[in-house]
Amino acid sequence: MRTRLALLAAAVSVLTLVAFLVPLALLVRTVAEDRATVRATADAQSLVPVVGTADPATIRLTVEQLAIESDRPVSVFLPDGTVLGTPAPRTAAVELAARGQSLTAESADGREVVIAVQGRSDGTGVIRTVVPSAELTAGVGRAWLVLALLGVLLVVIGLLVADRLARTLVRPISDLSAVSHRLANAELDARVTPAGPTELREVAGALNHLAGRIQELLSQEREQVADLSHRLRTPLTALRLEAESLGDPQDAARITGAVDGLERAVTGLIRQARRQRPVAGSTGCDAAAVVADRVEFWSVLAEDTGRSVHRELASGPLPVAVSAEDLAAAVDALLGNVFAHTPDGTPFTVRLTGTRATAVGSRGAGSRAEVLLSVADEGPGMPPDTVRRGASTAGSTGLGLDIARRAAESGGGRLELRTGRAGGTEVVLRLAPPPATPTSS
């Protein structure tokens, strides 16, 4: 935009200067020609009294002296055909002047000025002088050069002024764009300083108001989520007391462990809703330990519903760039989907393997460790678009696969949904390893 405004200003300046400077340049040349012609005519008219009354010898001396002083050819044609001064042929202009008519005519050498002198006893004499082309254009080139330099100077000044004006428009627009990108990157405290024309100031004010409103609504929503999550603590406490009162120690320990896991999930939800900083050291976990623990938990429910669980769990450690809470929530969501979307007695398989995936970087090809978590069932399957947040074909919330997807993507991985070997659904989480910690030598 800044460049276009500068080009527009340059075009307007050039057109304006051409409209004024071209006629002015032509006028300068016309004035120079007229000035030289008037000067030559005045010199020739100074000879009229001499040519009209003096003898040929006196006329010759006067004409030669004028030719030397004026540095231009001067000739006098007497009625008897004698030519005094600079030798010159009798041109058509001279013949016309011999009839008593003074005039100015263009010739190959410049501009020809002829004056008829009447009053001689032997007839009409003619005074002729020629203004050379160099004298007609004397000073014109210099004047044109000055006009050209003036035009260039005015164009440069116009460009500088247009650039300053464009900067006053472009800078506020760039600030608006930068702040909008920061808001898109979840920097909700970003604000723009109103500047520029009135319209841009109004847009800046509207953007700041929108950002403040979004921040306010998000804050309210986070507090509501945190409050709703906090309300779950009361029934959890009651459930814990009920579990502790059970007579069978194994059942009590199992239910208490489930309550502990649910309480950890609620605590993580509150912390995430209020945007608390994660605890140091919780950016990664051992996938083998987390998956084994959650599979062991769900195996009890699988036994109660008549489902067979096939486990292919690699031994640890298998470090991944996902927190233990997020990975446990993802595993619970995937296994919970098996129980929710398949009939009782449907078998399922849980695989956890460590592989090496080739990656090409700026320094050539390399490889990095990758952990694959697969949950496959032998049920009726589900459509591929079920991974979309809120999509469900069984009356559930439709958030399970989305929770798993976001957990994988938070650590640089991804979720894949496909048909299993036995015709059911297979969900694969590709979990990336944690970033390498630089070592000091």
- Token pair in block for residue 398: 């439709």
Please tell me whether residues 245 and 309 are part of one structural domain: no
**Domains identified in the chain, total number:** 3
How high is the pLDDT of residue 361? 42
Please tell me whether residue 311 adopts helix, strand or coil conformation.
Answer: strand
Residue 318 covered by a domain: yes
Residues 254, 326 share a domain: no
pLDDT at position 396, please?
44
User: What are residue 84's DSSP bridge partners?
Assistant: 76
pLDDT score of 360: 40
The pair of three-digit structure tokens given for residue 18, joined into one six-digit string: 């051409």
Angle at 118 between CA 62 and CA 82, to 5 degrees: 55
Do you find a cis peptide bond into 435, omega within 30 degrees of 0?
no
Q: Assess whether 257 and 290 both reside in one domain.
A: no
Exposed (0-12), middle (13-18) or buried (19+): which is 227, by Cβ within 10 Å?
exposed
Answer yes or no: is 111 within a domain: yes
- Written as six digits, the tokens of 393 are 């074909």
C-beta separation of 118 from 98 below 8 A: no
Predicted structure pTM score: 0.45
Cβ atoms of 63 and 84 closer than 8 Å: yes
pLDDT in tens, the chain (441 residues): 777 777 888 888 888 888 888 899 999 999 999 999 999 999 989 988 988 888 889 989 999 999 888 888 999 999 888 899 889 888 899 889 888 889 999 888 889 999 999 878 788 899 999 999 888 888 889 999 999 999 889 888 888 888 888 888 788 888 888 989 988 887 888 898 888 788 888 998 999 999 888 888 887 777 777 666 656 656 766 676 677 677 777 777 777 777 777 777 766 666 666 554 444 445 788 899 999 998 988 888 888 788 899 999 988 789 998 888 888 888 988 888 888 788 888 899 999 998 754 444 444 444 457 899 999 988 776 655 554 444 444 444 456 788 888 888 888 889 998 887 777 889 999 998 887 765 544
> What are the structure tokens assigned to 308, written together?
């067979």
Residue with tokens 């390498």: 436
Paired tokens of 234: 């009361």
Helix (H) or strand (E) holding 313: strand 309-313
Q: Do residues 331 and 291 lie in contact, with contact meaning Cβ atoms separated by under 8 Å?
A: yes
How would you classify the pairing of strands 364-377 and 319-320? unpaired
Give the Cα separation of 78 and 5 in Å (integer): 70
In DSSP notation, 332-360 reads HHHHHHHHHHS-TT--EEEEEEEEEEEEE
- Pair 98, 32 in one domain: yes
Same structural domain for residues 259 and 390? no
Same domain, 268 and 292: no
Residue 349 is predicted with a pLDDT of 92
Q: Report CA dihedral (322, 327, 330, 335) to the nearest 10 degrees.
A: 150
* pLDDT value of position 385: 53
267 and 290 belong to one structural domain? no
User: Are both 425 and 372 inside the same structural domain?
Assistant: yes
Helix axes 249-273, 287-304, angle to 10 degrees: 130
Q: Which of 248, 273, 298 is the last residue of a domain?
A: 273
Residue where one domain finishes, among candidates 140, 162, 183:
140
Residue 311 pairs in a beta bridge with 350
Query: How far, in Å, CA of 223 to CA of 218, rounded?
Result: 9
Q: How far apart are the first and last CA of the chain?
A: 52
Q: Which two tokens stand for residue 312?
A: 């292919």
Query: What's 334's domain CATH number?
Result: 3.30.565.10
Give the structural domain span for 46: 2-140
Mean per-residue pLDDT over the chain, rounded: 81
Regarding whether 337 and 262 lie in a shared domain, the answer is: no
Q: What is the pLDDT of residue 395?
A: 44
- For position 382, what pLDDT does the model report? 66
Q: Is residue 349 part of a domain?
A: yes
CA distances (Å), 372 to each of 223, 326, 337, 432, in order? 36, 16, 18, 9
